[in-house]
Structure 1
Amino acid sequence: MGRAYLLISNLPLVSHQLAHYGRSFAMAAVATTLLVVAMSRLIATDFSEPPAEEYSPIKSVHMPEMKVTTIREEPPQPPQPVPSQPTFDPPAVDPTIPKIPTVMAPPTVSNEANQIVVSRDPVPVFKPSPRYPSAALRKGIEGYVVVEFTITKTGSVKDVRVVAGYDSAGNPTNVFNRSAIAAAARFKYQPQLRDGVPVEQYGVRNRIRYKLGD
């Protein structure tokens, strides 16, 4: 009796649960049916490979024609002849310059008590030509230099100095000074004799001329 009453009292709850289960099964069945239909449609679809994309044809590459250029080396030119060096006149001594002992007095001989005493002025023995300065040679400058020096007892030259230097136009210049000093320092003399004894001669002057050859 009690059990029958319990079943009757729980009948609505059971019915509700059965109805819930029924709906769940129905929904599951519908979802399964839809999946099956979708799968069958997919299987039935005739898939084909998509058409391949057509690419534009590649143009052929034309390489330009290469030309070989042969470079010929010119034979070496023969050396040019060396131009002849201008010649110049040897230095000249101008006898018109004052204080230049250009007039040599003849030796004087005196006979006193059977003794011969000789006196004379310096006598030039060696006068080398000066070296023409390259700067004056390039510019074509001519001129002269007056030098002054001392002749020693042995006939050598010392204390050479330049008194003046001029170009051919009469303008002062020092382009020849070094060359003139070097040339005068090499002069050689027979020394001055005074009563037969060599002595030094001071203030001897010489003009050294520089002239280009024609």
Structure 2
Amino acid sequence: MDRACQSISNPVFFPPQLLASYAKGLGYAAVTTVGLLFLMSQLVATDIEEPTVDLLPPIKPVHMPKKVVVTQAPVAPAPPQTVPKQPPMKVEQTKVSPITMNVEIGSPTPATVTEVKVSRDPLPVYKPVPRYPNTALRRGLEGYVIVEFTVTKTGAVRDARVVGGFDSEGRPTNVFNSSAIAAAERFKYRPQMEDGQPVERYGVRNRISYKMAE
């Protein structure tokens, strides 16, 4: 209790610097308030002029001119002109006498037929399949033979001979010669024609191939 009484009885002292700052603040606030009041009084006292509006000049009435319609009386057409009559034309008539003509028709001449003579080379008609040689079959050889012969007037083959025999690799061989000659002698042809007549043809060549079945 004694300590509480002592704290209440002791007075509170403010430093002089704090009091000076408070005094300055009050002075600034008073000056600001007075300035605001002065500005408000000036604004109220000033009269605000309303903007002036320029009025448009009055519009004068426009008078349209009246249209005048002029009517013309119809003009009568001119009378048609009369065409003078022309005298009738005279037409002269001419007589045409018939013309007689004598035409002689002779006997027709017989038509001449020219014989056309045909010329052509011999044409193959029948070529049998050659027999495969047994030796070539056993050895598994393939090849070909070029034969030359004469085609007679009847289309048969005469004087057949071997020009050359070769295997599949192009090496000469005579294993197929006999079979090729036998097949060529059985060929049949249409004979060569010269001026419409059959003639013999020499040096006819043919290639006979030999290939084994796969």
TM-score tier by shorter-chain length is 0.3 to 0.5
Give the TM-score, by structure 1 length: 0.47
Specify which structure has the higher proportion of strand. 1
> Which fold has the larger relative contact order, with Cα–Cα distance below 8 Å and residues 6 or more apart in sequence?
1
Give the TM-score, by structure 2 length: 0.47
